[in-house]
Amino acid sequence: MPRARPLTVLVHGGAGGKKPTAAQRSCLTESLISGMHILKTGGRSIDAIEVMIRLMEGSGLFNAGIGSRLQLDGRKRMDAALMEGANLKAGAIASIEGIRHPISAARLVMEETEHVLLVGHHATRFVRHFKVEKDRLGSSSHRQRIAPLSRGKERSKTLKLFRALTQYETVGAVALDSKGTVAAGTSTGGYSMMLPGRVGDSPLIGCGVYADNTCGGVSMTGKGESIIKLALAKHILMDMKQGNSPHVATRKAFRELVQRIQGEAGALVLAPDGRFSIQHTTRWMSAGFWNGRGKPRVADQFH
């Protein structure tokens, strides 16, 4: 008799220098429960990823979806990506505006086009064609809030302090379903007061997200520029493909990240056999996991 697949869901709500709130931890728990329900009722891992991330995007508690940070021009632009490991299908969007659930927009790219990544106002037009739910708050009404912080003599000092205290509240998830298919996803609003046009690691396949049934799935969070330079998600999985465990492969990649480019990151890493690792180089990382037995576990530090 074939051995049952180890259903597994992992989620994260970002890593950084700020301790996650109780509300954020509660949302992660709810996301794990929702994702596991999908898997236990015969759903695919990619379905679980979308459901878990949509819940976090719609909560307003993270830097994703309706909670996305404002850029220097006072607008919210969001990125998201997801990938499924059986056929290496992937979809991503970058610098999209006015959408409540960017992860669903990324899935539309994956399923309705022959492309992997759509960007900017063309991505927004594409998604609106499918009538994806809008962020009714938008961003134009919030433009003036950022103005006092973007000028004046105290600007540099204020921004430095702000970024030291902030958290990379990108959200992400990884899942393994009953057929042994791994899927991974990410969604983000970038970081506060960033230069318009900047794109981080989250929508870049192989950097912020990757999934391949031959080795596993990864969802990253952290300083996007440093994650991109090492193509970190694929980097970790290639090491696992050589036989290393999720823990060892992630530890090696993070050592290189810190030593070579002084990067900061957190990662969810899941192998096809259900082994997983949650690691971060920052002080805090809100994340959790569940295999469907007992209760979901959510914490703000992992070692």
Asked if the structure places residue 3 within a domain, the reply is no
Asked if the structure places residue 234 within a domain, the reply is yes
pLDDT surpassing 90 at residue 164 = no
pLDDT surpassing 90 at residue 204 = yes
Asked if the structure places residue 140 within a domain, the reply is yes
- Residues above pLDDT 70, as percent of the chain: 85
**Range with the poorest average pLDDT among 60-74, 107-121, 248-262:** 60-74
Looking at residue 130, its pLDDT comes to 75
228 close to 186: Cβ distance less than 8 angstroms: no
Asked if the structure places residue 84 within a domain, the reply is yes
Which is the catalytic residue, given 170, 221, 250, 281?
A: 170
Local confidence band at 203 (pLDDT 50, 70, 90 cut-offs): very high
Asked if the structure places residue 2 within a domain, the reply is no
Work out how many domains the chain is built from and give that number. Answer: 1
Which CATH number fits the domain that encloses residue 222?
3.60.20.30
Q: Does residue 282 carry a catalytic annotation?
A: no
Looking at residue 1, its pLDDT comes to 39
Local confidence band at 145 (pLDDT 50, 70, 90 cut-offs): very low
Asked if the structure places residue 171 within a domain, the reply is yes
Q: What is the mean pLDDT of residues 37-56?
A: 97
pTM for this model (two decimals): 0.89
Asked if the structure places residue 279 within a domain, the reply is yes
Asked if the structure places residue 1 within a domain, the reply is no
- Domain containing residue 63: 8-299
Q: Which range, 73-77, 139-143, 218-222, is most confident?
A: 218-222
